[in-house]
Amino acid sequence: MKLKEYQWGLVVVGIVLGLMLTIQYRSYNDINETPPIARVQALANEIKEKKEERLVLEKRVNDLREKLDNKATNESVTIRSELETYRILAGIKAVSGPGVEVTLNDSDVPLAPGQDPNLYVLHDEDVLKVLNELKAAGAEAIALNGVRLTATSEIRCIGPTILTNKNKRLPAPFTITAIGNPKTLENSLFMKGGVVDQLRIWGIKVDVRKKDNLEIAEYTGSTTFEYAKSIQE
């Protein structure tokens, strides 16, 4: 039986509709299997945020590393500065600076009959008085006849000489080199009734000169502590 013309048209329309339904169904399945666009955008935004957080953390790490390096450098400078100060205080560092140079010598006053000649010569206590006066006036480093004096240096009379640093015997005249404020050091010695006035009563020769630059060598003796120990915190 032959199909009429309009029936062929219906067949063609049916085939086209079937193809369209098939294509639509497959597209629907593909859409269901692919993540929604909103989800993809959310993931993209999350990745962007993580990248920004990472950049912030990297900057913070770099800042902290720079601070640590600066702190280490500054502490190094501070430690070196403190170490230099302790070396000067201990006398194991040669130093230079302004100060005074004091020369002491025996009297050349002719003795009257019956006078005690010991009154007209320098003694260890005379030298010690001058040293103490200079220390009290702020002397930061002191040497006696070129020998650096430290906190443990003694001044003792050994015959016509003075013993210091346990084995240094120094003869007169004595030259005391002191680094500090020259004017203050000089004034401390020339106070009315002070050490210079007392020494000159017996004709002891005292010469004090202010100096713009003095050099004092480091202490070269041995340093041992048998009883004094550092306190462990």
Say whether pLDDT at 29 is over 90. Answer: no
- Residue 17: is its pLDDT beyond 70? no
User: What is the rounded CA–CA span in Å between residue 10 and residue 138?
Assistant: 123
* 130: containing domain: 95-216
Q: Of the segments 29-38, 155-164, 171-180, which one has the largest average pLDDT value?
A: 171-180
Residue 173 maps to which CATH number? 3.30.70.1880
Q: Is the pTM of this model over 0.85?
A: no
What is the structure's pLDDT at 160? 85
72 is a domain residue: no
Pull the structure tokens for residue 23.
């294509």
Asked whether residue 232 is domain-assigned, the answer is no
Residue 214 or residue 108, greater confidence: 214
Max mean pLDDT among 76-90, 159-173, 216-230 falls in 159-173
Close Cβ partners of 175 (under 8 Å, ≥ 6 residues apart) = 101, 102, 103, 104, 144, 145, 146
Domain count, the chain: 1
- As a whole number, mean pLDDT of residues 198-219 equals 94
Kindly state the percentage of the chain with pLDDT values over 70.
79
What is the phi-psi region of residue 95: left when phi exceeds 0, alpha when psi lies from -120 to 50, beta otherwise?
Answer: beta
Q: 46 lies in a domain?
A: no
The chain-wide mean pLDDT, for the chain, equals: 82
The pLDDT of residue 135 is above 50 = yes
User: pLDDT value at position 49?
Assistant: 83
d(CA 155, CA 153): 7
User: Cβ neighbours of residue 102 under 8 Å, at least 6 residues apart?
Assistant: 130, 134, 175, 176, 177, 178, 189, 206, 207, 208, 209
